Homo-oligomer: A and B are copies of this chain.
Amino acid sequence: MTKDRKNKQRVVDPEVPTQIKNPDLVRERRRHIIDSTVTLFITHGYHKTTTRMIARAAGFSVGSLYEYVSSKEDLLYLVCKTIHEEVQKAVEEALADSTGDKAVLARVLRRYFKVCDNMADHILLMYQVTQFLPKKWQKRVLTNELNITDIFITTLNQMSGKNSFPVLEDNIVNLVGHNISVLGQMWAFRRWHLQKQFTIDQYTAIQTDFILGLIF
């Protein structure tokens, strides 16, 4: 045997897998693996999900799995990144054509809370799992996570002073943006408790009053 295991040669960039030639195949299967993994992570968490489970769920052998993904950590990164992109995209769609008056802002909020409700599992997963990423990747993902707050902040800044909107000072804008994104995500966190008392629509309605109250 005398294999020298010392030339570890670990793949550093998580984007690049090992040896399979057909790039379309790779893309498709990676996507498939990520989807399977997300489901497993949601139900069992990161640490209790083994690579064997992942392989099985995706319909591969462990060996094949490692043709498409360079490590479990890599997979974790991909999962975080994918979920974030989905959430970000959904939020951006919800905020489309968001120049307007009070009623428009209310609609934006309604859509955003809806997104948080639909993607609750994913949002929760991101919060739980980001902490296990290596610091450098963590930063990349977390920076993105904050972007959702920033989306609201820039949106509010655009609205400020126009139509029926009062001119908002920076502090207020920042905090309102923060509160919006947080109160949405808190629905994901505390859903099971809150659902005993509110539907998502009621929650949305009251929180909207709440937020509009601060602005007007």
Contacts and interface: CB of A to CB of B under 8 A. Distances in A.
B214 A209 contact: yes
A45 interface: yes
A175 B203 contact: yes
Contacts of A175: 198, 203, 206-207, 210
Contacts of A206: 171-172, 175
Interface stretch (A15-23, A100-108, A186-194): A186-194
Interface stretch (A25-33, A56-64, A176-184): A176-184
Interface string A149-183: 00000000000000000000001101100110011
B193 A146 contact: yes
B183 A179 contact: yes
B171 A210 contact: no
B203 A210 contact: no
Interface in A194-216: 194, 197-198, 202-203, 206-207, 209-210, 213-214
Nearest to A194: B178
A128 interface: yes
A5 interface: no
A47 interface: yes
Contacts of A194: 178
Interface string A84-116: 000000000000000000000000000000000
A214 to B, nearest CB: 5
A7 interface: no
A2 interface: no
Contact of A45 (B131, B146, B202, B210): B131
22 contacts: A45-B131, A45-B132, A47-B132, A128-B128, A146-B193, A171-B197, A171-B198, A172-B206, A174-B197, A174-B198, A175-B198, A175-B203, A175-B206, A175-B207, A178-B194, A179-B183, A182-B182, A182-B183, A182-B190, A210-B210, A213-B213, A213-B214
